[in-house]
Amino acid sequence: MKIKNKDFIKTVQEKFNANAYSHLLGVRLESIKHGEVQASLVLKPEHLQQNGIAHGGVLMSLCDIVAGFAAFTVAGKGEHVVTASIQVNCLRPAKGKLWAIGRVDKAGRNIFFCSSKIFSEASDQTRTLVSNSSSAMAVARKL
């Protein structure tokens, strides 16, 4: 994928800082590379459903957040990305700290196809895949 915005790291940081929902959830941006973003989230009681595991909506949100910000790394200067569709698979219960990786698989002119994976991180830092997604991010040149 061609770099369309040489300041993509700064752009992603600015967009993330302005994203109130990510902050409400407690998402922390960990790394930004061209075509990939990594983030973490320490689960708190308000993130859990009645059985004490991460709510599916939290997993879906985290998948969407990392895929969306990965899409911003390949967008042109002044372009925006919005979720057009997302398919999330919850593979096993998630507890503790979550580690999420979002990637751009194909960057088209108007649609970026992205994927994400969420891992639950144990105290010994071993990671278990708990969720994944595929999504289409629409490129918006005006909002």
> What does the pLDDT read at residue 38?
98
Domain boundaries, the chain: 8-140
Give the pLDDT mean for 128-132.
97
Tokens 């689960």: give the residue.
Answer: 43
Fold of 8-140: Thiol Ester Dehydrase; Chain A (3.10.129)
Q: Cα–Cα distance between 41 and 84 in angstroms, integer?
A: 24
Residue 37, φ and ψ in degrees, nearest 5:
-135, 140
Residue 69 burial class via C-beta count within 10 angstroms: exposed 0-12, middle 13-18, buried 19 and up: buried
What pTM, to 2 d.p., does this model score? 0.94
Give, in order, the Cα–Cα distances in Å from 25 to each of 28, 130, 131, 132: 9, 18, 17, 18
pLDDT tens per residue, range 90-128? 999 999 999 999 999 999 999 999 999 999 988 888 899
